Every structure is written in C-alpha cells, then in structure tokens.
Amino acid sequence: MARGALCLPFAFLLLASVIPSEAQKAEAEAGEESLVTVAQGAPLTVECRLRAEQRADWQRDGAAPPPDLRAAPESPAAPDARLAARLRTPHAAAHHAGLYTCAGDRRHRVRVVVLPAPGTEPALAPAADTADAAAAAADGLPELLYDVRGNISLQCPLANDKSLDYVWKKNDTDLSLVWEMKDRWTLERGGAELHVKRALEDDWGNYSCSVASAEHRWAVRGRPHVKLPANANVVEGQKLKLTCRVVGKPHPRVTWFYSNSSDGPFAPLDEASGATLADSEAGVPDGVLLLAAATRAHAGRYNCTARDAPAAASTTLRVKDMYAALWPFLGICAEVFVLCAVILLYERRRTKPDLDDSDADNHDQKKS
C-alpha cells in the first residue's frame, strides 16, 4: 500500500510531461502570425518558416499568390532548425496585401499590409481597355486584382484613434446593403481590414473605407483568366467562329496571336490573314475570331490573351478538305456495288444448273 502511494506522484509527473496541456494544444493549433508592413514601391520580402521535411506551397488568402512575386529557394533559418521560404518583389503594390501561408498546415502565417508611399500618390496600374477601369484610373484610384472564387482583402490605411468606426462601401453603397455580398464579408482588426470570401465576378467595383471625414478608395476588378477549346475543326470554305472565354470583370480587350507551326513562336494576328474580330455574346471586346471562308492557310495554332491575365490560352485549328467526306462515301458506294454484283452473279450461276436439270427431267418424261 505504501509503495502504491509513493508511485502515484511519479506517475502523475510522467503523465504531465508526456501529455501536453490544453493551452499547449491550443497554442500549437493556432501557430504563429507575423505582420509585414511596407510602402508602395518599396522592396517586399515575405518570409515563412517550414519544417525540414516540408516544401513551400504558397497561398494568399486561400488562393495562388500574385504572379509577380518570385519564390526564392528554401534556406536554413537560424537559430532553429526550420527552413525559411521567401517571396520577393522589388516593388510592392496594393494587390500584394493579404494573409500568406507557405504550407498546408498554416502553422506560420504572414500578414502583409501595403501602405501608400509617403508624400506621393499611390502607384496606378497601366491604362485599362474598358471604360470602367479607365474611369477608375482617371480618378486616381489604385487597382486591386482578385481571382474569381478566391478572396478579397483590403486594409484601410487611414489613421484612427480606435474610437471611431470604419465605414466600408462598394460603389458608394454601404456593404450591409449589398445583398449579393451578404454573409460573405467580414471585418477584422477593429474594422480596419475587409475580407470577402468566395469572390464572384460581379464583386468588382469601387470600394472605399472612411473614418470621420477621411476616405480611401480602390478600384477592385477581377483578374482575367482566358479559355479556348483545346482543338477546333472546320471544313475548307466554311465559316469559323472561335470564342475566347474570359472569366473576370470588367472584361478587358482580347488580343489574338497566330503560329503556323506546332512549336514556332506566335505572332500578332494581322488583317492580311482574312480574320475579323468581334465582341463576344458575353461582352468581351474582340473576344470572337471570325473566318468567312476557311482555307488551308488558316490551319495552325491560335492564341488569345488579355491584360493582366496570368496565362494565355491556345487552340489548334485543323482545316479539312471540302471533299474529305466525299471520298469515304464514294468508297462505301463502290463496296456496296461490288458486293451486289458478286451476289447477282452468284445467284445467276446457282439458278442456271437448276434450270438445266428441270429441262432434262421434262425431256425424259416426254420420251416415256
């Protein structure tokens, strides 16, 4: 009995050293989050920690990071044994803001806040091809690109003594009154950050945050993703319609390229090719390529792209001979004709001996 009483304290100490406490578990699940604040135009480095067996799998707000952020090879991070993964760009922009993770377990998160450059106007994106984006650029609004079905994150740069409320609007309408965004947006950090989940094409527009009489605005638009069918076929002399589908609003103007070889470079499509461009049914400028009468010279690879699209789309066009369907039909007709002729000759030869036998029987009957 005494021995059991002595062993109990040691058993409890062993269990306490092996089983982590609830606070330790919560801390492990929460991981760590670091904050990176950078001014627009300044160099930006996003550094995240990995375990030795992990490889970097970068995401920003649950989607792929901006393509202009370049990943650097993982390197040891002193003083611990973990690896450091880094994303770098020489010029920070508004669309780099968001919550970054470098591994699937999201143990280490890096929140990037991009502030306007001190004493200067925010850097503007190049002139857009649509009237809405051009108007936004004319108003001096910084542009933010988002991916459809991704997330939108905006950080209000206005100073606040934390005693005033942030007011967020879309196209000068309070977000609480925009029914299309109901239950998809949240505010964090005292209302200074706006997060929109599962962004839709129609979430584009002019967003603003205000504190008292101060206001900051953004031109938010969807990053365009272009799509073409993998292959296209047309009979020589017939009309052809190729539609470049664009996901992301407002729709930018589509640019077409052509290559007459399987591995050669693409060249801009010129008027001498006989192709004409038109707006698609979805309203994409120059989103449709038309050929009034396809020829063998039109065969090749066609490529469509748009401003700010992360990748172009391409298709291979095959132009078939206008008599291509006639030759198989004539071959089938010839086979049927030969088969019928063979059957007819066989039947004639088979019935002729039967007639000769019947004539011989009749002659024998007459003699008897």
Residue 73 lies in a domain: yes
Answer whether 40's CB lies under 8 Å from 92's CB. yes
Ranked by mean pLDDT, the top range of 5-14, 65-74, 267-276, 314-323 is 314-323
Phi, psi (deg, nearest 5) at residue 52: -60, -30
Domain count, the chain: 3
Q: To which residue do tokens 């298709």 refer?
A: 315
User: 83-94: string of b/e by CB count within 10 Å (b at 16+)?
Assistant: bbbbbebeebbb
Does the pLDDT at position 96 exceed 70?
Answer: yes
| Cα separation, 84 vs 94, whole angstroms | 24
The whole-model pTM stands at 0.54
Residue with the bigger pLDDT between 2 and 67: it is 67
Q: Report pLDDT for 40.
A: 82
Q: What SS3 state is found at 338?
A: helix
Verify that 252 and 175 share a domain, yes or no.
no
Verify that 72 and 115 share a domain, yes or no.
yes
Domain end point (choices 223, 238, 272): 223
Strand 214-222 to 288-291 pairing = unpaired
Domain end point (choices 55, 89, 123): 123
| Cα separation, 156 vs 217, whole angstroms | 9
54, with CB counted inside 10 A (0-12, 13-18, 19+), is: middle
Q: What is the pLDDT of residues 40-55, one digit of tens each?
A: 888 899 888 888 777 7
Q: What is the pLDDT of residues 272-306, one digit of tens each?
A: 678 899 999 989 999 999 999 988 888 999 999 99
CATH number assigned to the domain comprising residue 63: 2.60.40.10
Q: To which residue do tokens 């129609």 refer?
A: 202
**241 is in which domain, residue-wise?**
225-320
Sheet holding 108-115, edge to edge: 32-39, 108-115, 98-101, 59-60
Verify that 164 and 239 share a domain, yes or no.
no
Verify that 251 and 273 share a domain, yes or no.
yes
Q: Report pLDDT for 185.
A: 94
Give the DSSP H or E segment for 46: strand 44-50
Report the chain's terminal Cα–Cα distance, integer Å.
136
Domain end point (choices 98, 123, 148): 123
Residue with the bigger pLDDT between 30 and 365: it is 365
| Cα separation, 163 vs 93, whole angstroms | 29
CB atoms within 10 A of CB 135: 13
Verify that 240 and 216 share a domain, yes or no.
no
Residue 348 lies in a domain: no
Residue 98 lies in a domain: yes
Verify that 212 and 263 share a domain, yes or no.
no
Verify that 191 and 266 share a domain, yes or no.
no
Strand partners, 33: 109
Return the amino acid letter for 270.
D
Residue 24 lies in a domain: no
Please give the share of the chain, as a percent, with pLDDT higher than 70. 76
Dihedral sign, Cα of residue 161, residue 167, residue 170, residue 172:
negative
Residue 358 lies in a domain: no
Q: Most distant CA pair in the chain: distance in Å?
A: 139
Verify that 110 and 154 share a domain, yes or no.
no
Verify that 264 and 316 share a domain, yes or no.
yes
Half-sphere exposure of 276 (CA within 13 A, CB side): 7
Cα angle 358, 361, 365; round to 5: 140
Verify that 185 and 236 share a domain, yes or no.
no
Outline where DSSP puts E strands in 159-309.
167-170, 173-174, 185-188, 193-196, 205-211, 214-222, 225-227, 231-235, 240-243, 245-247, 254-259, 267-268, 275-278, 288-291, 300-306
| Cα separation, 336 vs 34, whole angstroms | 79
Q: What is the pLDDT of residues 2-21, one digit of tens each?
A: 444 444 444 444 334 434 44
DSSP letter at 63? B
Answer whether 222's CB lies under 8 Å from 151's CB. no
Residues present in the chain in total: 368
Residue 136 lies in a domain: yes
Answer whether 46's CB lies under 8 Å from 110's CB. yes
Q: What is the pLDDT of residues 99-114, one digit of tens each?
A: 788 887 666 778 787 7
Does the pLDDT at position 66 exceed 80?
Answer: yes
